[in-house]
Amino acid sequence: MRKVGIVVIFMSLFLISSLAFCQGLGGFRSEPSGFRGIEWGTDISKLKNNLKYVRSEEKDVRVYVRNKDELKIGKAQVKTIEYKFWTGFGKYGAEPEIFYAVYIETEGKENWKNLKEAAFDLFGKGTDLGNESYGWRGKKTSITMLYNPPTGMLLMDDIEIGDIRSSIKKQTEKEKTLKEKGF
């Protein structure tokens, strides 16, 4: 139950920070185009033997962990690294599962500080969003970090795929509302 609450807080922060990104967050010293050798948009069929399915999120996202993934970033020992794959356009056309985001979670203040240090060293300081949260936005990638004791989180995602997902969600919600009203 606590993890669900933390994820809700994180996702709320992510949405708020997404609005801040529209205002212009700090860019990257070095912008990633994926994570650990997997480029954004990579079809899961190229990675299937290296991944283990964990769960689905919403209808269009499947979460995997990597076999033999090193749960360490810089000096931080991380609790989990989850690779998120978008299952495509649904009724707008069948698409393969493609890599669009990575979610990293730490446990404890020391691991959070070490993850933050590793991120700052690689990406630059980004924008301080307050309350131990930070954000970066480049041309292809956005990153949001948050510390909510005792858990730290980092979400890195592909901007283009995120925008497409949001657009499809809005269209689907409009169609649902029209249908409910008899149109």
Torsion (CA) 118, 121, 123, 127 in degrees, nearest 10: 90
* Side-chain-side CA neighbours of residue 67 (13 Å): 6
Domain count, the chain: 1
Could you tell me the end-to-end alpha-carbon distance of the chain, in angstroms, rounded to an integer?
39
Q: Which two tokens stand for residue 143?
A: 């990153």
Q: Which two tokens stand for residue 180?
A: 């409910």
Whole-prediction pTM: 0.79
Q: Which residue type is seen at 46?
A: K
- Residue 135 to residues 78, 82, 91, 140, Cα–Cα distance (Å): 19, 19, 33, 14
Residue-level pLDDT, tens digit, the chain, 183 residues: 555 444 444 444 444 444 344 344 557 778 888 999 999 999 998 997 899 999 998 888 999 999 999 999 999 999 999 999 998 755 445 568 899 999 999 999 999 999 999 999 999 988 999 999 999 999 999 999 999 999 999 999 999 988 888 888 788 777 777 778 777
Structural domain for 161, as ranges? 2-180
